[in-house]
């Protein structure tokens, strides 16, 4: 039996660590058997013991549309409630595009911010206060960190956790400056408060959808309160919009419209049973008219909005009938966007914005959807890349390259 422990792997340092660390670690990991791994109680960390800095590979934001794979300091246990996860599969969310495109420069630190908030991982180290997880557990985190105990968490507003300060994995300095999942390892603070076990019935490739896309879709469709005869429009048919569309189709027998500017996405929406319409700026007016013509000039009963942009929100308001509900699952980071209060007032619209989704509260539902095979989220996966290939794949995703819907990333 080897005497090397997982802790040794994380403190072991050599003069050439920066260049050979990963090869060395992989080599040692491959020699460890399950029986070599000491029980969790032996892998806790003495907070007063400084550890030598070691490095891992991670996607680092360098500036607008520029991400590089760099050696960055390995995450370590900082608080007793922390644990460290080794990434098995990560992904890139549509909301990451705000960062990637440089649209929110005040949220990120070029050369420092690592990206990604969707993950399937394996616990490799636990802090002394962690009780719900042990080394070897397969896990996925909701994109935001929550303690489970503060006033907001107890009220279900887990994304607004008062203890974490609304921290989001891999979302820049303004959201807690946490490392992202597009990396070999991730530090998970307040682990017992929000980390989720991934059951054996959910595959590695499906588990990253528990972090953001599928719970967000479930929440938005739920808050749309769709009745069986409601006409519904899904605005924005990216990965989360496509998952929402599948759920919407199960809630109404009436017409479902799907609006998106990308033809590939519309074609997929058609296959899911939607009446897909072009939301490109120069054709949006005609698409609005098509919806009005099909609904006696009234508009739809419910809109599920996943474009997450001002233009998408405007479109939702235009196609909503009087008394309609707009359930906004998209991420709006435009701080100033002109919207007509009159249009919303005059239609008596109900706005239910939940894009800063309390994903933790709906992960059980997302698990159930996958386990019961109601939804296979991996059906939206079009690209599988290694971490080294991620920068170019991110550009394709941002450019909405033909046939590109969702990527999975392995370190």
Task: Please give the residue ranges that form the binding site for Zn ion (CB under 5 A).
Answer: 93, 95, 146-147, 150, 153, 161, 163, 212
Dig out the tokens for 69 from the structure.
Answer: 């794979």
Q: Which is nearer to Zn ion, 58 or 212 (CB)?
A: 212
- Are 178 and 78 in contact, with CB atoms under 8 Å apart? no
Residues linked to residue 91 through DSSP beta bridges, in sequence order: 408
Give residue for tokens 């990253």. Answer: 208
341 burial (CB, 10 Å; 0-12 / 13-18 / 19+) is: exposed
Q: Which is nearer to Zn ion, 175 or 313 (CB)?
A: 175
Least distance to Zn ion, CB of residue 93, Å: 3
- Are 150 and 158 in contact, with CB atoms under 8 Å apart? no
Shortest-Cβ-distance residue relative to Zn ion: 93
The 8-class DSSP code of residue 305 comes to E
Q: Which is nearer to Zn ion, 82 or 230 (CB)?
A: 82
CA–CA gap between residue 58 and residue 68 (Å, rounded): 8
What phi and psi values does residue 395 have, to the nearest 5 degrees?
-65, -40
Taking phi over 0 as left and psi of -120 to 50 as alpha, with beta for the rest, 176 belongs to left
Q: Which is nearer to Zn ion, 10 or 265 (CB)?
A: 265
Least distance to Zn ion, CB of residue 39, Å: 29
Least distance to Zn ion, CB of residue 341, Å: 29
- Are 240 and 213 in contact, with CB atoms under 8 Å apart? yes
Least distance to Zn ion, CB of residue 285, Å: 30
Dig out the tokens for 56 from the structure.
Answer: 């891992």
Please report how many Cα atoms fall inside a 13 Å half-sphere around the Cα of residue 406, on the Cβ side. Answer: 27
Dig out the tokens for 26 from the structure.
Answer: 């992989």
Least distance to Zn ion, CB of residue 240, Å: 8
Least distance to Zn ion, CB of residue 166, Å: 9
Least distance to Zn ion, CB of residue 286, Å: 31
Q: Which is nearer to Zn ion, 212 or 277 (CB)?
A: 212
Q: Which is nearer to Zn ion, 117 or 321 (CB)?
A: 117
Q: Which is nearer to Zn ion, 54 or 93 (CB)?
A: 93
């Amino acid at each position: 039996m080897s005497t090397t422990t997982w802790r040794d792997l994380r403190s072991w340092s050599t003069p050439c660590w920066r260049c050979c660390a990963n090869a060395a670690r992989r080599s040692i990991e491959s020699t460890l058997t399950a029986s070599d791994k000491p029980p969790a109680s032996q892998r806790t960390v003495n907070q007063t013991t400084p550890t030598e800095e070691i490095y891992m590979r991670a996607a680092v934001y360098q500036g607008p549309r520029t991400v590089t794979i760099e050696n960055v300091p390995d995450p370590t246990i900082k608080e007793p409630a922390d644990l460290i996860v080794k990434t098995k599969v990560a992904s890139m969310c549509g909301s990451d595009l705000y960062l990637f495109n440089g649209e929110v420069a005040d949220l990120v630190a070029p050369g420092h911010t690592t990206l990604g908030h969707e993950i399937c991982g394996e616990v490799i180290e636990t802090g002394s206060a962690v009780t719900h997880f042990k080394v070897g557990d397969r896990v996925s985190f909701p994109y935001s960190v929550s303690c489970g105990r503060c006033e907001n968490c107890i009220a279900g507003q887990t994304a607004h956790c008062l203890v974490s300060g609304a921290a989001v994995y891999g979302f820049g300095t303004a959201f807690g400056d946490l490392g992202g999942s597009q990396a070999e390892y991730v530090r998970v603070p307040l682990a017992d408060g929000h980390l989720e076990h991934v059951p054996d019935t959910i595959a590695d490739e499906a588990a990253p959808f528990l972090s953001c896309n599928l719970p967000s879709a479930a929440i938005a469709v739920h808050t749309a309160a769709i009745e069986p005869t409601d006409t519904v429009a899904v605005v924005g048919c990216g990965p989360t919009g496509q998952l929402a569309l599948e759920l919407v189709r199960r809630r109404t027998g009436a017409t479902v419209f799907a609006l998106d500017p990308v033809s590939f996405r519309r074609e997929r929406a058609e296959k899911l049973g939607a009446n897909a319409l072009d939301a490109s700026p120069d054709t949006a007016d005609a698409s609005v008219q098509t919806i009005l013509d099909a609904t006696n000039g009234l508009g739809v009963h419910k809109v599920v909005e996943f474009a997450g942009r001002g233009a998408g929100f405007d479109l939702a308001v235009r196609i909503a009938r009087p008394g309609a509900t707009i359930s906004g699952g998209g991420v709006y980071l435009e701080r100033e966007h002109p919207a007509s209060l009159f249009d919303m007032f005059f239609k008596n619209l109900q706005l239910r914005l939940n894009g800063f989704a309390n994903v933790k509260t709906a992960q059980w539902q997302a698990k159930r959807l996958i386990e019961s095979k109601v939804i296979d989220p991996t059906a939206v996966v079009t690209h599988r890349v290694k971490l080294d290939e991620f920068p170019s794949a991110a550009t394709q995703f941002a450019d909405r390259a033909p046939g590109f819907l969702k990527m999975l990333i392995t370190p």
